[in-house]
């Protein structure tokens, strides 16, 4: 394989005086035991003779060492060594009809990472559960977040590190449920009864499983307990924020979901961040940016709502040459890290969204770097 431009490689591996890299076995240059003999270093059964002495091959461990001139590798994104997170829309039709199933929103091919993954560190999925059906999950993740888009049901949870404290969590539209590491779950949609949907249930889930896969680690402990955010409470808190006299001057009309176990990051889990927000009719949320990726779920909107996403602002604070992403109820899209984005509602009706980000991790690392356009906050 040719050496990349701007690099210097040590090339071959040095193994002391043995250039082949195989073990030397005295007078036997092939490194194999003589015919009819026992394995190297042992005497044949029933034969009294000298043992074969084995020299140890010495490895200097420089074979994978590579050197780059600084300007050739300081920005792997610009150099094309790693791919950017794309702006990508996942339409609601992905989960229309069909049997009970889990639908990963997989961009691993775009990202060049092991899949499935929606961003380098997060995986979003839709869970379609037909009436009376069950769907099992057991991700290798430090946490999971679920949002109920449609239907009612419950999740039975077995906890690897709290086996004496299993949980049964009921959910309904608007509820958010967060689960810690080590949870084996069985999700079931109510087949009938008050609030049951004849089409079953639709859940949206985000985990940090791709982050663990990249690090080559597995979760070893719970960092928080199973938690449910009641959708009715969320809507009431959001309505309070919207009624506040200053709401029209605020950059976002929203409530952040947090957990008592995250007093430093003030986030929904120690790695995930989630916000329940409303974009009032005929309003624009001006541009802002952050280093976390956003997996945006639209929980309710009429046609005429959209986001603009781009890398630069002009002198007025507007995004230059933006990509436009149309909103759709029960659809989702990816807002890449570091890009400016604004939200627009020209529908004449309020629109609702639930962005989930890896901002819990970024906040802990002190790398979130959230910024607003001039005059916004």
CA distance linking residue 154 with residue 345, whole number of Å = 34
Residue 260's CB: how many other CB atoms inside 10 A?
8
DSSP, res 85 = P
Among the residue ranges 71-85, 146-160, 243-257, 334-348, the one predicted with the least confidence is 243-257
What's the confidence (pLDDT) of residue 35?
44
347-355 mean pLDDT: 97
**Closest by CA position to 363, among listed 268, 238, 237, 227:** 268
Provide the residue ranges of all domains of the chain, joining segments of one domain with +: 7-43+57-74, 88-372
pLDDT greater at residue 192 or residue 128: 128
Strand partners, 128: 101, 202
Of the candidate ranges 35-44, 179-188, 262-271, 322-331, the one whose mean pLDDT is the lowest: 35-44
**Cα–Cα distance measured from residue 170 to residue 187, given in angstroms and rounded to the nearest whole number:** 10
- pTM for this predicted structure: 0.84
pLDDT value of position 375: 58
CB-CB contact of 176 with 256 (8 Å): no
Q: Is the model more confident about 318 or about 32?
A: 318
> In this predicted structure, what is the pLDDT of residue 8?
44
Residue 311 confidence class, pLDDT cut points 50, 70, 90: very high
Nearest-10 Cα torsion for 305, 344, 118, 96: -10
* Domain at 88-372, CATH class: mainly beta
Cα separation, 371 vs 289, whole angstroms: 5
pLDDT at 76 over 70: yes
Q: What pLDDT score does 56 carry?
A: 72
Q: For residue 274, is pLDDT > 50?
A: yes
pLDDT tens-place string over residues 86-109: 999 999 999 999 999 999 999 999
In degrees, rounded to 5, the angle at the alpha carbon of residue 232 between the alpha carbons of residues 287 and 353 is 20
Tell me what the mean pLDDT of segment 70-90 comes to.
96
| Structure confidence at residue 53 (pLDDT) | 56
CA pair distance 155, 187, nearest whole angstrom: 4
Structure tokens at 312: 């630069």
pLDDT, mean of residues 357-361: 98
Position 10 scores a pLDDT of 41
Asked if 104 contacts 123 with a C-beta cutoff of 8 angstroms, the reply is yes
Average model confidence (pLDDT) for the chain?
88
| H helix or E strand, kind and range, residue 211 | helix 209-215
Query: Cα separations (Å) of 333 from 88, 117, 124, 133, 350?
Result: 5, 13, 10, 28, 19
Q: How far, in whole angstroms, is CA 337 from its chain's centroid?
A: 13
The Cα 173–Cα 189 span in angstroms is 12
Distance from C-alpha of 335 to C-alpha of 289, rounded to nearest angstrom: 10
Rounded mean pLDDT, 214-240: 97
């Amino acid at each position: 394989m040719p050496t990349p431009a701007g690099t210097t490689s040590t090339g071959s591996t040095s193994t002391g005086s043995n250039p082949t890299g195989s073990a030397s076995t005295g007078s036997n240059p092939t490194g194999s035991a003589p015919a009819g003999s026992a394995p190297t270093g042992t005497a044949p059964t029933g034969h009294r003779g000298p043992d074969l002495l084995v020299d140890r091959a010495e490895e200097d461990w420089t074979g994978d060492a590579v050197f780059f001139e600084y300007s050739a590798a300081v920005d792997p994104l610009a150099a094309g060594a790693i791919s950017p997170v794309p702006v990508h829309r996942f339409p609601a039709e992905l989960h229309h009809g069909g049997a009970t199933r889990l639908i990963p929103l997989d961009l691993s091919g775009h990202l060049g990472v092991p899949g499935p993954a929606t961003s380098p560190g997060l995986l979003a999925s839709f869970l379609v559960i037909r009436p009376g059906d069950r769907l099992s999950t057991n991700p290798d993740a430090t946490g999971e977040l679920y949002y109920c888009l449609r239907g009612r049901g419950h999740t039975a949870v077995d906890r690897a590190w709290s086996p004496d404290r299993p949980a049964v969590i009921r959910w309904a539209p608007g509820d958010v449920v967060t689960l810690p590491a080590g949870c084996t779950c069985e999700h079931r949609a109510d087949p009938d009864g008050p609030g049951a949907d004849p089409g079953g249930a639709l859940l949206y889930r985000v985990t940090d499983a791709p982050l663990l896969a990249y690090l080559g680690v597995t979760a070893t402990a719970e960092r928080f307990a199973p938690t449910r955010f009641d959708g009715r409470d969320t809507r009431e808190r959001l309505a309070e924020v919207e009624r506040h006299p200053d709401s029209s001057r605020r950059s976002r009309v929203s409530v952040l979901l947090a957990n008592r176990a995250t007093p430093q990051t003030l986030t929904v889990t120690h790695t995930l961040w989630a916000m329940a927000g409303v974009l009032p009719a005929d309003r624009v949320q001006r541009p802002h940016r952050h280093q976390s990726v956003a997996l945006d779920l639209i929980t309710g909107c009429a046609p005429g709502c959209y986001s603009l996403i781009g890398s630069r602002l002009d002198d007025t604070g507007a995004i230059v040459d933006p990509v436009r992403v149309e909103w759709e109820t029960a659809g989702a899209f990816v807002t890449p890290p570091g890009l400016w984005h604004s939200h627009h509602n020209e529908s004449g009706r309020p629109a609702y969204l639930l962005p989930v980000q890896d901002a819990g991790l970024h906040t802990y690392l002190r790398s979130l770097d959230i910024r607003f356009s001039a005059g916004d906050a």
